[in-house]
Structure formats: structure tokens, C-alpha cells
Chains A and B, each alone.
Chain A
């Protein structure tokens, strides 16, 4: 067993354990913390796939920004502790039906991908990875890159407008 297999198995196991813990824990803050394990393991998988820059972005954006923004969302809203045991919606049969449907979806996709192999492999992705991404972004993908900037601006302004108090509510205070 080579070191790459060992690293892949460890990271995959950590990612799946994080996801399963997220489904089973009862407190919301614990769920978010469990998912940080998954996000960091996925960053390790990106390093295995010779995508160092995407791995760094994953750690910054997902384990940093999105986790913190979700924690803010949890702290700004009130979560009653007394109905802790009822964290999922629907009854037993509805959950079972959902699980069966998700499992059937997973089995169908698994039949499609478990033997998939194109036999090709990129050999030069890890050499100056960030420089390659920068060259591609600023030459071939310049228009999608600029449109992404506009999307981020629109989302930020929209989020501020949605989350700020109405004028009437502010006057009532």
C-alpha cells in the first residue's frame, strides 16, 4: 500500500465521519464544528489531486468564512433546547422513505461511476499550480472572472439590504 492510498483512506474516512457526525449530533453548533473536519479533509484531498491553490481556498473560504458565517447565523437566532430530540422534520416513515430514495439515488450513480477510468492523467498540474490557475483566469476565463466579481458585489449588497432593520421597525425602538 503506497503512501498516497494511506493518505486518501485517512482523509476519506475523516470526511465521511464528519458528515455522519453532522447528521447525528443534536446541537447545531456541534454540527457545524463536525463539518469543519469534513471541509479540512476535503482540502487534503485537493492536495492529493495536485490542486494546492484550490486546497488553500477551501481552507480559507469553507473552514474559515462559511463556518463563521453559519455560527453567526446560529448565534443571532434563538434555538430552544427543550425540543432537542425533535431536530428532524417528519415522522419515522417519512424519514425512512427519504433514506430509501437517497440510497436508491446513490446506488444508481454508483453503478455508473465505480468502474469509470479514462486512463489519462495530468502530469504537470502540480508544477507552479497557482501560476497556471492565474494565467488561465486572466486570459481564457477573464469574462467569467469579472462576472463572478459582479455576483459577489450583488450578493453582498443584497444580503445587507435583506438583513438590516426596516425603517418602521427602527423608528418604533
Chain B
């Protein structure tokens, strides 16, 4: 019985990563940029789990690493939201191109 090949999962993860990368580079709202970064991390997780099943040395290690990535991504989202709220309190804006005080 033929199953879905490894390359199909890798190409899907690549497409999702590209969507997240484009959004993170062009969107104007900090919340949306954070969400796009989460989407990129998710694409990486798909790769890890796919290699855990179809990789050169298949095993449970890839899934364990995916769990670690999810934990660190959750911590990153919490800290990012806290930075966003601190910025909003000081600058009254959530737009990326208005937060440019370190530009000069």
C-alpha cells in the first residue's frame, strides 16, 4: 500500500512557511506579525513530525522535539504579547512603521 510521500509534507510545510514569511514582512499590525511567526513555527513542526515518520532514522525523537518547539513557541507568544501591551501603553499605537524611535 502506497502512502503519502515525505516530499508532499515537506512541500506543504514550505508553502505555509512562505505564507508566514510574506505576512511577517509586509503586515503592518504587530499582532498579525506575531501570528505569522507562529505560522512559520508550525510549518517547522510539520517538518519535524514528518521526518519522525519518514526520515533517515525514523523514531520518536522528532515528535519529542516538536513538543519542545511548541513549548518554546508558547513562551515566545506570551512574552511578545507582553511587549506589545507595554509598547501600546507608551506609544498608543500597534502599527509597526510608527514604532521607529531606534531608527535614527
Contact = CB atoms under 8 A, between A and B. Distances in A.
A35 B35 contact: yes
A166 B23 CA distance: 33
A42 B81 contact: no
A42 B16 CA distance: 10
B93 to A, nearest CB: 9
Contact of A15 (B12, B64, B75, B81): B12
B59 to A, nearest CB: 6
B interface secondary structure, majority? helix
Interface string A78-106: 11000000111110001100110011011
Say which size band chain B's interface belongs to.
35 or more
A159 B81 contact: yes
Interface string B65-104: 0111011111111110111111011001010110000000
Given A51-B49, A88-B28, A132-B60, A155 B75 contact: yes
A159 B78 contact: yes
A33 to B, nearest CB: 11
B63 to A, nearest CB: 5
Contacts of A159: 78-79, 81-82
Interface string B12-26: 101111111111011
24 contacts: A15-B12, A22-B39, A31-B32, A32-B31, A32-B35, A38-B16, A46-B49, A49-B52, A51-B49, A53-B63, A54-B49, A65-B74, A70-B34, A77-B88, A89-B28, A113-B7, A117-B6, A120-B58, A122-B54, A122-B59, A133-B64, A136-B61, A155-B79, A162-B83
> Which 9 interchain pairs have the tightest Cβ spacing?
A122-B58, A155-B75, A162-B82, A159-B82, A19-B19, A163-B82, A113-B10, A106-B18, A89-B28
Interface of B: 1-12, 14-23, 25-29, 31-32, 34-36, 38-39, 42, 45-46, 49-50, 52-61, 63-64, 66-68, 70-79, 81-86, 88-89, 92, 94, 96-97
Interface of A: 2, 4-5, 8, 12, 15-16, 19-20, 22-23, 28, 31-32, 35, 38-39, 42, 45-46, 48-51, 53-54, 57-58, 61-62, 65-66, 69-70, 72-74, 76-79, 86-90, 94-95, 98-99, 102-103, 105-106, 109-110, 113-118, 120-122, 125, 129, 132-133, 136-137, 141, 144, 148, 151-152, 154-156, 158-160, 162-163, 165, 169
Given A113-B11, A113-B14, A118-B56, 12 more contacts: A2-B3, A23-B19, A35-B35, A45-B46, A70-B35, A76-B85, A88-B26, A120-B55, A122-B58, A125-B63, A129-B63, A152-B74
